[in-house]
Chains A and B, each alone.
Chain A
């Protein structure tokens, strides 16, 4: 089932490669259809998924036995929610990209390839396979930015490529070190993690490998100070690219901590927990401050992503150091919540608002609410969700993260909570200038929300609301896996 899930988009990409490039509408529809199949599969899986039953839907075949590489897929409560997010956001991003008219065929083929990579990262349980998927994600995204991006796309795409490539090369070194030091002769992630938890890695070795992995994941998240590729990439990327970049790609970094760094190197993780928490809180505050000063709407959302990923990092650190299930649940919750809110924000900034105002500059906008009330309402919804309005998913995620981290890192949580005021500040200031006030620019002629825009935004809004009102929808899914992870870590650290 997972194989079908992961490779359906790839099949779609191949199909598109053989299509006539003149038939653009047909290509778009084919891409959409192939991206909807994974969503269907994930929904089917959701019925069978049993929280707490460990790895499920496991598929394992020998692949390169001589060096212990196997084709090994599986999903648990940590990765399954990310599969749902990926399978949901990708078709919406494809739908949002229907307005692409330049090299349509290549665009959608690459987009489907990207989906295969993203889904693969979340289900791979073999390092070799994991790394391949990881790199598969990198390349299409590079092209999406570099070919279909804005005016400074070359700069942005190369920066993205160099940063993430540097990150992944260092990560590869870390992975290879684990492979060789374990002496197990296998790339099996779970087996190597087991080995690590039994304390069979030398402490100094653990530190070095953790640092290597940390760097690899930190670039992806991105964690301050490795974040500067993100604003450029987001601003230049086409809307669909921004949507999956913010919604899914960033989460690959934090997922790496959950799946690899923490379970495999628990002692080093505990050792680095405080610096990680500190970096997380710096990201929250720094990202929010930087967002406040951005006149470019898309850039503001980009910095807000950096800020929000800070919660995830803080939650992971508190989960490791303090054994707080709530903090780790919260971190995963923020990953999912931001995974649905940020695509909506980027869709607004890059398409819904941009196509009406023809600018992304906040000072040039005004009075959108009186011109296009429904679009304005969607923007307000997304902004309030992003600033953590109680009753929407962003609040729930932040609440769980903070409530779990508070006993562990009290001072840091207090500082991080100040970030909530800043977050409210830049969102309100943005709304004051974009939504409220007298309309600026060309009077009239603006069309309120289109059908396609509704189809993209309504599912994201509905899920944001559902998770905010009824968080156990997600919590019950992740909690058993998080409890298991925390128990393993605590056991490895000598228990509490």
Chain B
């Protein structure tokens, strides 16, 4: 363990940015606010790079640390907070701050003119701070401090336009569902504290042996519930599509690239625990596999461009969990890496489209944008191609590695799920492309065609899109089967030979390519020539997310509120009534007291003093008579 002074910079710069932009939101110009907000995240990224270089210069197996302060002391549990810069933590931190920087920059253009510009930057910086704390902590307590605060940032930013009814509902829903997961996670922490007496990662992992299998599984599963809620996995995913109420860059950063992958990070971070349980890892794989398929099915039935991307995100995070669940932690982290590029790219490009169409998000009213927005079209083409898993784009390599690992780990059923989801992914990707960009111009495009002269956006918006575009093309080249294996190598310091690295797998390669081509072909054949007309009437089953949202509402929220009303009624009529009955019996006494005190306070004070004196004398007399 080597102390590194670069680590705190990753947290402190965004925190400082949040404080300065919050306090100076009325004083500074939007230009300076954007510069401060983006610049601090950029500095955080540079600190991350410096820490990464420092780590690489050390012997393998070394870790960067930075001790902070005691958080809990005395009693059965001692907790000292600290930062932990191992390859996994820095891997995540670099993406959070790197992609975060680009999205901050993009926001300068996207949010220009918004009256709450300063508040926006303050909250976005605060998110980067909290997320960095989450990934860089050296124990579960620090993790949960970050975990809760990214939740708050997410709440504030989903509800950023808080006058909107849909936005405030979405914010509440997101916080509440993730809080439910957090409570399960807390129970996992309590149990872990009882079982290991430690919540500091290395100390905890050192004590895994000797703890019963059942306990390990129970703790892992409780942590997993938290991960499932945060990462919008089945069945706690219903908040994510609604969360798209937030500004689009927020969707890109928080609800696509980083925060929703916190669950994946948790499983990868706690890999010794999940591996020791075995069963828990199996559950992780199934949750991930099923969500990957479910998200892809539902995404293919959405008409709102951002909701397509939201369901796509949950599906892709499902892949990451699938990878982690079969023990291919490095592959999982790798897919997080490529996904951050192409999904952020897609969201930011979608933001450009929405911006251009004056807020229109319905795919059925778009169409033909290829001509007026060539750069955005290229971005979508690359982003969707990467998402669909077309070579040589980023998603192809990382998804394939996960699928190969699934097959080689002896999970043919999960593998089949994954391949089917891949076909559906290609289908919804090219459905989106066809609806928005191909064919004749849709009504929303025609209505705003006068703004065509304005170009596609300012440089602060196009530069980040361009850089992400490069990433979406090239990020996958870090792990070309048989050629490169960068993620596996650099993450070795965390997984210590225990992560499963699949070999090149020609069956998987063929199957997933075939699946992608079939999905793409069907989508283009179906949606290229004609655009569906918006229909009035109830949405189809898949479009409504199989009604899980409503089912959940009926099963939890409504009974909860009903129970609350019953309790409140019982409290007034029952418990209080009972006691009031007693009080009525002593009413005579009460009446007297009241009459005495109805007059002036002075007289009351006299009565009071008299009463006290009486009490005093009385008790003295009582006592001395014994």
Interface residues of A (CB under 8 A from B): 64, 66-67, 103, 106, 110, 132, 135-136, 139, 143, 146-147, 154, 158-159, 161-163, 172, 176, 180, 224-228, 286, 289-294, 324-326, 329, 367, 369-370, 384, 389-391, 395-396, 399-400, 402-404, 406-407, 413-414, 417-418, 420-422, 424-426, 428-429, 431-432, 435-438, 470-472, 475-476, 479-480, 482-483
Contact = CB atoms under 8 A, between A and B. Distances in A.
Contacts of A172: 619
Given A403-B190, A436-B159, A436-B168, A483 B74 contact: yes
B593 A417 contact: no
B593 A390 contact: no
B73 A228 contact: no
A429 B175 CA distance: 11
A396 B190 CA distance: 13
A436 B171 contact: yes
Nearest to A103: B601
Contacts of B211: none
Interface stretch (B29-37, B270-278, B281-289, B563-571): B563-571
7 A-B pairs with least C-beta separation: A390-B148, A479-B74, A325-B75, A436-B168, A293-B568, A326-B75, A292-B564
B483 interface: no
Given A292-B564, A390-B149, A437-B163, 5 more contacts: A162-B583, A326-B74, A403-B193, A406-B193, A428-B176
Interface residues of B, number: 72
Given A329-B74, A329-B75, A414-B187, A391 B590 contact: no
Nearest to B568: A293
A206 to B, nearest CB: 21
A426 B568 CA distance: 13
A195 B576 CA distance: 39
Nearest to A478: B74
Contacts of A132: 612, 616
Interface stretch (B64-72, B200-208, B338-346, B431-439): B64-72
Given A67-B623, A400-B72, A390 B193 contact: no
Interface string B574-600: 011011100100100110011001000
B165 interface: yes
B191 interface: yes
B38 to A, nearest CB: 24
10 contacts: A132-B616, A158-B593, A226-B579, A293-B567, A325-B76, A326-B76, A390-B144, A435-B162, A436-B162, A437-B168
Contacts, number: 190
A290 B152 CA distance: 25
A132 B609 CA distance: 12
A424 B176 contact: yes
B560 interface: yes
B75 A67 contact: no
A228 B72 contact: no
A345 B624 CA distance: 47
A201 to B, nearest CB: 18
A286 B163 contact: no
Given A470-B69, A471-B72, A228 B171 contact: no
B179 A420 contact: yes
Given A399-B186, A432-B168, A424 B145 contact: no
A413 B187 contact: yes
A406 B190 contact: yes
A139 B612 CA distance: 10
